[in-house]
């Protein structure tokens, strides 16, 4: 395990988690990395650490450059354990290192997890000299925890952005110029949708705070490092923060005997007729976190469930709970569902979507038992009319 040099005197010393498939409910089909960075100057600085089980991997990478006991400074940009888990371990080796974190929330969170390791709080704009280089700290609260901050290093102009601009994407390539770039963008979008999306306003403030920095490299705490494609990733973040809609419509459903599925296709036909690009997700096969990534910019969302034991299906309830926590914009919605005798699910879905910052396009659509061709055609016609009138 060796460090990877990313600039003169600056090394990636993190860990690659090829096996990660679930990050608190977010399906991470490409694994992840926990990025820690080592700066060799008159002072030796470690910026963030890794998840606790990967501490030996980080130690080996640091040791390939310098004796870890010689680390003078440890920066904790964020206390979530995927970045701070190895902090007590490395602090126990680098016994003279000072640990810097955001004054207030950063110190509070690290103390809660690891006890008092003698943290030093830093405030907005405060600068720490490493010798030829200096680190300036920029708090970015609620992107996505209260303690988040980023660190900007001059004269290299490297932004250590922690979770912002990250991707759950394991690879041996560290730079955007080496990796599968389309995959990096897909994973950056999924990361934003599943982690950052509810904090768009705070993210907008963080982007504004960094707007005047002459950034040449962005070193996030997950995934690849942005060098050549910084304008592209900044532009993507600006559009996500702005909650811009595209021309897609997401249809999410589960089905028991294909009646709700048939309704989903009737709604799909309506979206197509209105010039939209529908995306269908049967929750029996699709993961909530993938649906969220596409739903983020969709203009419309339709959610359907059959009635099962007087309720919507658990898969749909799970999706709606996840969506309620993450949805960042006021898209228009359609609730729909089939039933045998009870018929509660369409109204339950309707109420749940109303609680998700969404606006009803039309009353909930319901059909008993097996829908006829005429009934399905009427659903298509009714949805087309509702879209035209909206």
Q: What is the DSSP string of 31-93?
A: -EEE--EEEESSSEEEE----GGGHHHHHHHHHTTS-GGG--EEEES--SHHHHTTHHHHHHH
Determine if 48 is a binding residue for ligand FEO (CB under 6 A).
no
Residue 390: CB minimum distance to ligand FEO, A? 37
Residue 175: CB minimum distance to ligand FEO, A? 20
Q: What is the DSSP string of 219-272?
A: EESSSPBBSTTHHHHHHHHHHHHTT---SEEEEEE--SSSHHHHHHHHHHHHHH
Determine if 80 is a binding residue for ligand FEO (CB under 6 A).
yes
Cα–chain-centroid distance for residue 155?
A: 30
CA–CA gap between residue 365 and residue 360 (Å, rounded): 11
Q: Parallel, antiparallel, or unpaired: how do β-strands 307-308 and 311-312 relate? A: antiparallel
Residue 69: CB minimum distance to ligand FEO, A? 27
Residue 247, phi-psi category: left (phi > 0), alpha (psi -120 to 50), beta (remainder): alpha
Residue 18: CB minimum distance to ligand FEO, A? 17
By C-beta, is 195 or 262 nearer to ligand FEO? 195
Determine if 83 is a binding residue for ligand FEO (CB under 6 A).
yes
Determine if 221 is a binding residue for ligand FEO (CB under 6 A).
yes
Asked if 234 and 179 count as a contact pair (C-beta separation under 8 A), the reply is no
Determine if 261 is a binding residue for ligand FEO (CB under 6 A).
no
Determine if 82 is a binding residue for ligand FEO (CB under 6 A).
yes
Per-residue tokens: 137: 């700290």
Determine if 331 is a binding residue for ligand FEO (CB under 6 A).
no
Single out the segment in contact with ligand FEO by CB under 6 A; choices: 76-84, 102-110, 315-323, 329-337: 76-84
Determine if 163 is a binding residue for ligand FEO (CB under 6 A).
yes
Please tell me the count of residues contacting ligand FEO according to CB under 6 A: 9
By C-beta, is 25 or 363 nearer to ligand FEO? 25
Determine if 28 is a binding residue for ligand FEO (CB under 6 A).
no
Among 144, 169, 289, 149, which residue's Cα sits nearest to residue 222? 169
User: Active-site residue numbers?
Assistant: 24, 78, 80, 82, 144, 163, 191, 222
CA–CA gap between residue 51 and residue 84 (Å, rounded): 7
Residue 76: CB minimum distance to ligand FEO, A? 12
Q: What residue ranges bind ligand FEO (CB under 6 A)?
A: 78, 80, 82-83, 144-145, 163, 221-222
């Amino acid at each position: 395990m060796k460090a990877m040099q990313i600039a003169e005197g600056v090394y990636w010393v993190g860990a690659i988690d090829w096996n990660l498939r679930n990050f608190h409910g977010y399906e991470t089909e490409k694994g992840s990395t926990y990025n820690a960075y080592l700066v060799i100057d008159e002072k030796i600085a470690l910026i963030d650490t890794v998840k606790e089980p990967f501490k030996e991997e980080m130690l080996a990478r640091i040791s390939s450059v310098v004796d870890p006991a010689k680390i003078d400074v440890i920066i904790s940009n964020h206390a979530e354990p995927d970045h701070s888990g190895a902090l007590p371990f490395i602090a126990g080796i680098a016994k003279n290192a000072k640990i810097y974190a955001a004054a207030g929330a950063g110190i509070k969170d690290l103390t809660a997890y690891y006890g008092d390791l003698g943290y030093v709080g830093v405030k907005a704009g405060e600068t720490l000299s490493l010798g030829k280089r200096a680190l300036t700290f920029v708090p970015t609260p609620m992107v996505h925890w209260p303690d988040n901050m980023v660190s900007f290093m001059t004269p290299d102009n490297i932004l250590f952005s922690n979770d912002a601009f990250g991707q759950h994407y394991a690879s041996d390539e560290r730079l955007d110029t080496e990796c599968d770039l389309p995959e990096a963008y897909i994973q950056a979008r999924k990361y934003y949708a599943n982690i950052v999306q509810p904090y768009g306003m705070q993210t907008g403030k963080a982007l504004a705070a960094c707007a005047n920095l002459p950034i040449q490299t962005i070193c996030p705490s997950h995934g690849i490092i942005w060098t050549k494609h910084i304008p592209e990733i900044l532009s993507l973040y600006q559009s996500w923060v702005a909650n811009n809609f595209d021309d897609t419509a997401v249809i999410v459903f589960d089905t028991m005997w294909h009646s709700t599925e048939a309704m989903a296709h009737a709604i799909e036909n309506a979206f197509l007729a209105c010039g939209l690009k529908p995306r269908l997700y049967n929750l029996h096969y699709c993961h909530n976190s993938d649906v969220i990534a596409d739903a983020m910019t969709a203009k419309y969302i339709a959610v359907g469930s059959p009635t099962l034991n007087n309720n919507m299906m658990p898969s749909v309830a799970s999706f709606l709970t996840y969506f309620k926590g993450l949805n960042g914009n006021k898209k228009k919605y359609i609730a729909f569902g089939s039933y045998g005798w009870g018929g509660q699910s369409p109204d339950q879905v309707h109420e749940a979507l109303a609680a998700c910052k969404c606006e009803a396009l039309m009353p909930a659509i319901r059909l008993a038992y097996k829908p006829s061709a005429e009934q399905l055609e009427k659903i298509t016609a009714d949805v087309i009319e509702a879209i035209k009138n909206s």
